[in-house]
Amino acid sequence: MARKLAPIFAFSWRAVVALLTIEVAAVSALRYFTAMAPPPSVITDNAYAYPWLAIHVAGGVTALVLGPLQFVRAIRNRWPAVHRASGRIYVAACMIAAPAGFMLALGTTSGPVASVGFAIPAILWPIFTFLGLKAAIERKIEHRDWMLRSYAITSNAITLRLMLPFAGLVLHLPFSSAYPVIAWLSWMTNLILFELYIRRNRLTLASESRLAAA
């Protein structure tokens, strides 16, 4: 039964990630690059909103959209040139969005706890991405692991937007109290989940290698 449900589960969570990615990317584009959906004051009141907000959003949305495609095996196997080209754009987008995000972390109006909570992933993001790029150039198997960690930070944009309404509508927490906590919890949750997946995948590969050797 578990084996029969596994493909359904895999398809379901991938579909959810795809839908959330499209939703966050579309809302961000409308909110920050058009007048159709004005951004919340907690964002626009940032001391460094101009010019860093537009730069961060442009780079972040690009990385968010391209990130999942880097892990699609069919693209890697059938169109390796597409994988490499989109990977370069992903790396460039992260390297642009991260320092802009760091500046926004320094300028947040939500206090020092939120500031540090946003600054840490802004520092980890380019480090993970660079290590993934370095491993790819050196053709090391760790390339995928570092890129997964990089995408864990990239997809913080999704987790943050899921946690905020949950805190308000379900837990009934005031925004001023929830926001600084979510500034930490969103990216930490992603990193923990992705790290568990990476370690589980390593154990699976090691087990398959032992069986093949036997």
Token output for 53: 């907000």
**Calpha distance 88→8 (Å, rounded):** 32
Per-run averaged pLDDT (10 residues), the chain, 214 residues: 57 78 88 80 91 95 93 89 94 97 96 97 98 94 94 95 93 94 97 92 68 57
Cis check: omega of the bond before 121, within 30 degrees of 0: no
**Calpha distance 150→144 (Å, rounded):** 10
How many Cβ atoms are within 10 Å of 174's Cβ, its own excluded? Answer: 9
**Calpha distance 97→107 (Å, rounded):** 15
pLDDT for 213: 56
Token pair 């009934």: residue: 172
pLDDT for 33: 85
How many Cβ atoms are within 10 Å of 75's Cβ, its own excluded? Answer: 14
pLDDT tens profile 3-21? 555 566 666 777 888 888 9
Instruction: Specify the pTM.
Output: 0.88
Token output for 49: 């909103």
Question: What sign results for the dihedral spanned by CA atoms 184, 65, 11, 128?
Answer: negative
Q: What are the residue boundaries of the structural domains of the chain, listed by start?
A: 2-213
pLDDT tens profile 193-202? 999 999 988 8
How far CA 60 is from CA of 34, 52, 65, 89, 170, in Å, comes to: 17, 12, 9, 11, 28
DSSP conformation class of 91: H
Q: Are 25 and 61 in contact (CB under 8 A)?
A: yes
Question: Average pLDDT, whole number, for the chain?
Answer: 89
**Calpha distance 164→173 (Å, rounded):** 9
